Amino acid sequence: MKYRLLEQSSLRRLIFSFVLLSIIVSYAPQSAQASQLEASAALPLSQTNPQQTVFLPLVAQDSGTHSVDLIAAAQARGEISSETALLYQVFAVFGDDRLPAKYRGTSSGPSDVEVSQLVREQYHTLSAQAKATLEPFLMPPYHSGSWWDLQQQKQRRAVAPQAEQPSEWRCGGLGNVKDPLFNEWSYLDSANGEVRIWWQKRYPQDAAMAKLYLEKVDAIWLKLHMLMGRQPPSDEGSSKLCRGGNNRYDISLVDLGANGETWPYEYTAGGPTPSYILLRRGAAYGTLIHELMHAFQFAFARKGTWSEYTWWAEATATWAVQYVDPTLNHEHGYADGFLKRPDMALEEVLGGDSGVAATHHYGAYLFPWFIQTRIGEGWIRTSWERFATEPNSLKVVNELIPGGFKQQWPDFTLRMLNRPPMDDFTKADRMIVQSTLQGDEVVALNGARERAYELDGNVKHLASQAYRFTFNDLSARSVTFVNPLFEQEQLTAEIRALVKINGKWAEEDWTDAPWRSFCRDVKAERVEELMIVISNNEWQNRNHKLHFTKPPRLIATNVACRGWDFTVTAKMTESGDTFNSQEETVTTGRWLRDILDGDDGMGRPFEHYQAKDVKATWKHTGTEGGCSGSGSGSVTLPGADQTWLTIWTTGLDLTGRTYVPGRRVYNGFGTDVEVWGNVTVPYNCGDDSFPRSLVTLGHWFRTETVPTQSVSADGKEIKGTFVEIETDEGYNRTLTYTWTMTALPPE
């Protein structure tokens, strides 16, 4: 269900004309209400519920520290250059003993960082020396001169001195029996002729693992081929050195500090490149799918730098696991990295040393998956095709999704909640990770008059903030959300809400609503739970952040709102040179909450009431010249348009835009011209007589025009007085109104 505000313009106009009127007549300053300030509790969420900054991985491999994190931290401290950091990252992944001891982590589990992506990103910036150091790592392990070869030689030399291997053995081009390519590795070929899986003979048990991968690999290959419309370019290994010796796609099972790495053969800018995969021995089948998707991505040319597409490469490679095998759920382990950081931009990549956020770009798979559920998977291929001519990855994604980020981002950020009723990810795939809430509050007044919750709202581009409010305190009667977008328009901001009333959820769009108010005394509005998501669909300016001069605010007060039983006493004394009279009208009745047509609570900063069942009892006595009269009676008043009560139930000023803690003022008016004309007291003057009308029946209720009197501290009683004195030459009139109103109990 969606509420747009098209039909509401008339209601809005009405309310604003009321507000405007109030402003025009508000020459009297607002009462300071200082005493009420202490009674109200304004709680900025930033104080009561600080944003969580400690993030725990969902799937902890072990509690140790990863080398990749130690290296990233050292780089962040300026201890090592980015080039050195990259070399160290490579050393860490391959277990190379050139990694200084202080950067060696204690964790034995694999990291999620794919150093091959880092190398691809930075290769063109590296010094010749760094490129030379990296060279052994840029060829498959079963070739002479590879990192694996060097490690084996080192181990052999440690046992017995050995001569350096002759350089012509490099890459096994000579096919010498001493070459590790032929002696220390074995391989299995897949049935479709596309893939070769290599395993080390020193680990005989890996033969079984290789066979298991092999059974799956053709199906994965076929599905990714259909998806992407092309295959990874041939490595031409039958004719080019160091490429596995034949044209099949090579996957080798190795000891690796990461789960898997897909290495390109070519580091020239932009072009498609053949590649090969290193798979950690024992890596999950999901990792094989992920890395193979990288191999297919490498079949596409790109116009921008690789780093521009890194997030999309990881997001769609992780998405591919779900796509190829929806029951595997390997990708769920990455959802955490994304959903725990809704404050990060969609395409943001933090990498090592950023806790769970290090896998944010993997967890970003949720976005392509969400879009896939709406338009199918074809656009994934198109996105990679368009990168050939478009250097801006977000521009491509924006063009391919219906309505662009403008339409999809607010919808997606609601799904990120992954809580009922927006638990699509759980329903569709049993993915149970939920986004981190910026605030999660139980709205309870605990005897206070009111509580105000300030939402931060300063949301980055393609990020979001979610808040949950749970209500379990009936004394929180009047609730209003004040939307600052109404005053301070921000084109890329959206505010969506999920509202639970009487066990049923509804989705509402509050972006254009100045307010959303609920009277919890009424069953139909007794909100039980509220989730508010503020999102920013800006994608062009990556430095963009929403900024509110007044923050979004949710205010709950104990001011009753359903209706009021009232007794109003209006007294008049009137005197002059030739006349005087006394009059009293006591009126009883009920104020009932008046909902105007089209009012769904999205344009109302106050509650408005109409009088029902009004009974007036009057008495009058007086003299005028030689005449006199007296009388009393009872009459029923129909109530009329000019009869109303308005209560500012939720701490807002007359404009409804500014929060004034404790403000709960009201004003009203009671008149009935028709009855006033019909009921009279006869004044007798001997032979003659004339009818005298009743002032206090004509105006049976009055307050100040600009409200200053307040509802009681408990929100359930209204007591007040208004006196109007009129004096002129030879004329004095005092009108005194006093009233008591008692709130109707909750429905």
Binding piece for Zn ion, criterion CB under 5 A, among 79-87, 307-315, 393-401, 725-733: 307-315
Nearer to Zn ion (CB atom), residue 114 or residue 508: 114
Name the residue nearer to Zn ion (CB basis): 292 or 317.
317
Q: Which is nearer to Zn ion, 71 or 292 (CB)?
A: 292
- Region from 71-79, 81-89, 312-320, 710-718 binding Zn ion, contact rule CB under 5 A: 312-320
| Near Zn ion in 641-680, by CB under 5 A | none
Taking the least distance from each CB to Zn ion, the nearer of 185 and 306 is 306
Neighbour-count burial of 427, counting CB atoms closer than 10 A to its CB (0-12 exposed, 13-18 middle, 19+ buried) = exposed
- Grouping H, G, I as helix, E, B as strand and the rest as coil, residue 117 is helix
Residue 142 and residue 180 in contact, taking contact as beta carbons nearer than 8 Å:
yes
- For residues 483 and 3, give the distance between their C-alpha atoms in angstroms, rounded to a whole number: 15
Contact segment (CB under 5 A) with Zn ion among 93-101, 106-114, 435-443, 494-502 equals: 106-114
Nearer to Zn ion, 251 or 414 (CB): 251
Decide if residue 115 touches Zn ion (CB under 5 A).
no
- Quote the CA–CA distance of 352 and 337 in Å, as a whole number: 12
Give the nearest distance from C-beta 491 to Zn ion in angstroms.
35
Contact residues for 390 (Cβ-Cβ < 8 A; gap 6+): 303, 304, 396
Shortest Cβ 294–Zn ion spacing (Å):
5
Nearer to Zn ion, 262 or 465 (CB): 262
The answer to whether residue 321 forms part of the interface with Zn ion (CB under 5 A) is: no
Q: Does 331 bind Zn ion (CB under 5 A)?
A: no
Nearer to Zn ion, 380 or 533 (CB): 380
Piece of 112-120, 464-472, 622-630, 727-735 that binds Zn ion (CB under 5 A) = 112-120
Q: C-beta of 317: minimal distance to Zn ion in Å? A: 5
From the CB of 363, what's the least distance to Zn ion, in Å?
12
Between 137 and 510, whose beta carbon lies closer to Zn ion? 137
- Cα 539 to Cα 392, 536, 717, distances in angstroms: 10, 9, 51
Q: Give least dist CB 314 to Zn ion, A.
A: 5
Q: Does position 462 bind Zn ion by CB under 5 A? A: no
- Whether 323 and 227 have beta carbons less than 8 Å apart is answered as yes
Instruction: In whole angstroms, give the CA distance from residue 337 to residue 356.
Output: 5
| Among 110-118, 275-283, 489-497, 532-540, the segment contacting Zn ion (CB under 5 A) | 110-118
CA dihedral 390, 394, 395, 398 (to 10 degrees): 140
Instruction: Mark 20-39 with x for binding to Zn ion (rule: CB under 5 A) and - for no binding.
Output: --------------------
Q: Is the CB of 259 or the CB of 558 nearer to Zn ion?
A: 259
Nearest residue to 461 (alpha-carbon basis) of 342, 379, 372, 365: 342
Stretch that binds Zn ion, among 156-164, 317-325, 417-425, 663-671 (CB under 5 A): 317-325
Nearest to 656 by CA among 12, 99, 4: 12
Least distance in Å: CB of 250 to Zn ion? 18
DSSP per position, 649-717? TTSB-TTSSSB-TT--BEEEEEE-HHHHHH-EEEEEETTEEEEEE-HHHHEEEE--SS---B--TTSSE
Whole-number minimum distance, CB 290 to Zn ion, in Å? Answer: 5
Helix (H, G, I), strand (E, B) or coil at 743: strand
Q: Which residues pair with 535 in a beta bridge?
A: 464, 494
Q: Nearest CA to 548 among 478, 482, 469?
A: 482
Minimum Å gap between C-beta 482 and Zn ion is 44
| Dihedral, 156, 160, 163, 165 alpha carbons, nearest 10 | -20
Candidates 44-52, 207-215, 298-306, 310-318: pick the segment binding Zn ion (CB under 5 A).
Answer: 310-318
Shorter beta-carbon distance to Zn ion: residue 146 or 297 = 297
Question: Closest separation between CB of residue 390 and Zn ion, Å?
Answer: 22
Is residue 93 a contact point for Zn ion (CB under 5 A)? no
> Count of CB atoms within 10 A of residue 4's CB?
12
Stretch that binds Zn ion, among 126-134, 170-178, 311-319, 612-620 (CB under 5 A): 311-319
Please, is 411 exposed, middle or buried when counting C-beta atoms within 10 Å of its C-beta (0-12, 13-18, 19+)? middle
Token pair 């806790």: residue: 355
The smaller minimum CB distance to Zn ion, of residues 314 and 583, is found at: 314
Count residues binding Zn ion (CB under 5 A): 3
Q: Report strand pairing: 41-44 vs 450-454.
A: parallel
Residue 479 DSSP one-character state: E
Residue 39 CB partners (closer than 8 Å, separation 6+): 448, 449, 662, 713
Which one among 114, 450, 456, 607 touches Zn ion, defined by CB under 5 A? 114
- Chosen residue from 5, 126, 317, 324 binding Zn ion by CB under 5 A: 317
Question: Tell me, what amino acid is at 42?
Answer: A
C-beta of 277 vs 556, nearer to Zn ion: 277
Least distance to Zn ion, CB of residue 61, Å: 17
Residues found near Zn ion in the complex (CB under 5 A)? 114, 314, 317
